[in-house]
Chain A
Amino acid sequence: MPSADESPRSGVAQAAGLWNRRLHWYTGLYFLFFLWLFSFTGLVLNHPKWTFADFWPARKQSTFERAIQPPPSGSDLVQAKDVMRQTGIEGETEWTKLRSNPNRFEFRVSRPGHIVEVAADFERSRATVHRIDVNAWGAMRMLHLFTGAPAAEPRNQRDWVLTTVWALSMDALSVGLIVMVLTSAYMWWPQRRKRALGLAALGAGIVSCGLFVFVLRWLF
């Protein structure tokens, strides 16, 4: 039901208003846990001196060597996937070094909570695996950053299906937040008594945010 201070609306507009409200509630409730994770980890990333979330000193490391069959010829990714299958490793592949010797192959596999450095020697048919496990703080922080395709490193492309799923979740949350903003504006605008104060709040947000996004580079 529209409140008393809302503008009179037609039946279609009322139905649109109701479904707009529902879209706002439902989107917010569905994405609650995603939002809390990214908000909290964003805050922690911005405050590296908060010692309670300092996960790196508490990391656990282990190294083992395993016999492998040299992988069939193919791209670096194909060979890395073969070595990973043989050593029982799953995750997103990262290229850490340029490959100068075709019999030596080093790469990193990461997933939130775990980083695995693999050094394979095809001549000796051995792979040395150095594994780093971090605690829940580290895993949460890695979840925030886990896109699998850092812009600064075009050689690294997303190659693990779960990275793609997580990236789609990030996209969905972003779109969900944009939907929340638009639906809130649609809910607020017909409430005449709240327009002035709402405009002041929105205007203050636009001015302060716009200052950083658009204006700083013109001022300085």
Chain B
Amino acid sequence: MNSEVAFQRASDAFPVDTLFDLAPCGYVITTPDGLLVRANQPFCRITGYDEHELIDRRRFVDLLSVGGQLYHETHFLPMLQMHGTAREIALDLVGRDGSRLPVLVNSVLHRADDGTPIAVHTAVFEASHRRQYERELLAAKQQAEASEAKLRSLARTLQESLMPPALPVIPDLRVAAVYHPAGEGHDVGGDLYDVFEVAANDWCVLIGDVCGKGVDAGIVSALARHTLRAVAMSSALPSYALHTLNEILLRHESTRFCTVAVLRLRREDGMWRIVTSIGGHPPPVVVGPDDVSPLGVPGPLVGILASPTFVDTERVLRPGETVVLYTDGVTEARAPDGVFYGEDRFHRTVIEHGGPASALPRHLVDDVLRFQAGPARDDIAVLAVTAALPD
């Protein structure tokens, strides 16, 4: 059969007036108020009603489940009244025998030339399988959201374990810290810091950064924090703590390494003496009125070399002087034009602020966040310690 004949046959076999009942979907016409005026045979078949039970007797909304009725009245109809159409609305029809029939519904509101609504034409598509599939997708989505929320909560818990929940109150020393996570803060960063008492008038202050992000990095950060805490108890030398951490990281299954600055503060004869040792970390600075002076001697990254050398240096922290410890999230923050925040800007900001420690970290972190104008690309941790002035 050639195509012309086929065309003619398909066309002639279905006069236009038969199309309503032969439509491959339920099709109803209602008054603007929803009273059924016409219903095609597929619609009657889907719902199980005889035509005469529907026409002039039932409204479309009467055939919906109660939840569907609520949706119809609060969403579907307003949409139809104002847009003139409502498409792909998922509803459940309730058949004559009480059975539920998941359907997708498209409606068009026809108006007279003067705008008066005349009738609503509604096509109803059986969608049991599709709706079942959608329900499964929906359940999967809800499960995924729940999992994500749980993951975030775990990440938060892990992150919080890398820092003390509150800083200790130390006689004659003011301590403050701010941590700002990268991005939206849903991942675990590698930054860590700690302030803890080793003995009376003997404190350890440390800051560090494990390479990378995520749970793996967080685990190594936790390992580093607790190692440094433990070692401090048996040795007064920060370099010893770094050597021990280096050894432990080398033997640890993780290939991650870190940077750490460890300060030991001892109060002797009314003076705070600081011993500093640095492994790959930006040196903490003592803030003076016009300049800053770095603490310690730069040493290698921790967890890379088999026999690194970490050096201890000692200095007195005079009353009123402030030490600032920070991670490279400060100096490597970048403005939208790509410029780094950099050490100079960092130095200027802390010099301008001066002391005491209590407000300095917040001030510095806010300045960095303003500078980079947008979510932080890296974690930022800042810790400041001020030796109290004598009363």
Q: Do A and B come from one complex?
A: no
B interface with A by C-beta (< 8 Å): none
